[in-house]
Amino acid sequence: MNIALFTDTYPPFVNGVSTSCYNLAKTLREHGHTCIVVAPRFTDGKLEIVDDVIYMPGIALKKLYGFRATRIFDRRIIRILKSRKIELIHNQTDATVGFFARRAAKKLRVPIVYTYHTSYEDYTYYFSHGVLDRMIKKIVRTYTKSIASGATEFITPSVKTKEFMRSVGHDIYVNVIPTGIDFSIFAEEKFDKERAKKFKEEHGIDEDTKVVLLLGRVAKEKSMDVSIRCFAKFVGLHPNMKIKMIVVGDGPQRSDLELLTHELHISQLVDFIGFVDASEVPFYYHLADVYNSASITETQGLTFMEAMVAKCIVLARFDDNLTDTIIDGQSGFFFTDEETYIRKLEKIFSLTDEEKQKIIKYALELVDQYSMDKFYTNITEVYKRAIRKYW
């Protein structure tokens, strides 16, 4: 098959959608398909094609760190897609790139598969700032319902997202296909121990220092402030423990969080690493003892699964969306507030090597369902069905 993926984020930008699109494109090509990716440039510049990725120029959106608004139509790209004899468009986004994907499908007269990655209701505060937020959420729900109607086939990465579609009144058939994970990049033998040693020296991390990792877009919806406040409480109860929190990623809330660490008197224990390339992410999972996230806006939660594949113990704020992969106390740990955070972190740090290995083994068994082979099989079945509908 000849497939075009449209996405508003792609490596080197790091987030769940970017990782999902990269892994999908990679596995399709490995199985002999042609896959062209259409995505905004990460930096300023002109239209550029690099390794079957068409990078569109766009305007940086300051309120949505890392995202860019592009043109909603570009004849040059249409000509490229025509020359590659594209049979199907897989749209992974909305906004400007999403508009372009729908227009391109009509122009090329091909089916369009749509994956609903993001619950946009969780992002309305970027525009409303708390003013008329209820009305804006209602508009978002109406819009979400309309874009699903135009898809030949519709995909969500989790049951949680499927249930959201039902809640907005949509009766479209929903294919629930969890995003695949490339397990190979998290292999232990790929962990650069010399680099890790140097990193620890630079950040004052001794061999017996416990490392807690926060990773992802540093923005309000990720609730990193919740993790930092809980961490401060834990430190207050364990003042003599050698412990460090590493925050990997960048975003609009970084300066606020840095200020928060000073207010909580833990700035010397929290290091903000900033943006890292997607290929660097496994290094930080292997470096850490615990991967911690308080986000409850994830549609699937790829970072939790990546951490589990990298054999890093997960401490997550409870979310129904994670109950298939995080079994509390068995494959990872849940917390709900500061008290349970402290109790669970104490539990993790007191685990024997045998207990830790048992948790890691069970976690690996659970995340096996997200292998790239299973992802490929499921996604291509949807593609074939979409193409048949268009005959």
CB burial of 130-163 (b: ≥16 within 10 Å; e: otherwise) equals eeeeeebbeebbeebeebbeebbbbbbbbebbbe
- Predicted structure pTM score: 0.79
pLDDT, tens digit, 9 for 90 and up, residues 155-203: 988 877 777 777 777 778 889 998 888 888 898 888 999 999 999 999 9
Q: Is the link from the previous residue into 12 a cis peptide, with omega within 30 of 0? A: yes
Nearest 5°: the CA angle 27, 33, 35 is 75
Q: How far apart are CA 253 and CA 224, in angstroms?
A: 9
pLDDT, tens digit, 9 for 90 and up, residues 205-254: 999 999 999 998 898 889 999 999 999 999 999 999 999 999 999 988 99
Q: How far apart are CA 272 and CA 102, in angstroms?
A: 39
Neighbouring residues of 264: CB distance < 8 A, sequence distance ≥ 6 = 228, 229, 232
- The pLDDT of residue 12 is 77
Q: What's the mean per-residue pLDDT of the chain?
A: 88
- The pLDDT of residue 44 is 78
Pick the closest to residue 145 from 124, 178, 116 (CA basis): 116
Domains, the chain = 2-180+371-389 (3.40.50.2000), 183-369 (3.40.50.2000)
Q: Where are the beta strands (DSSP E) in 92-182?
A: 112-115, 153-156, 174-176
Q: Is the pLDDT of residue 140 over 70?
A: no
Query: Token pair of 196, please?
Result: 């890790």
Which one-letter amino acid corresponds to residue 94? D
pLDDT top residue among 260 and 69: 260
- The pLDDT of residue 236 is 97
pLDDT, tens digit, 9 for 90 and up, residues 253-308: 999 999 999 999 999 999 999 989 888 999 999 999 999 999 988 766 788 999 99
- The pLDDT of residue 388 is 94
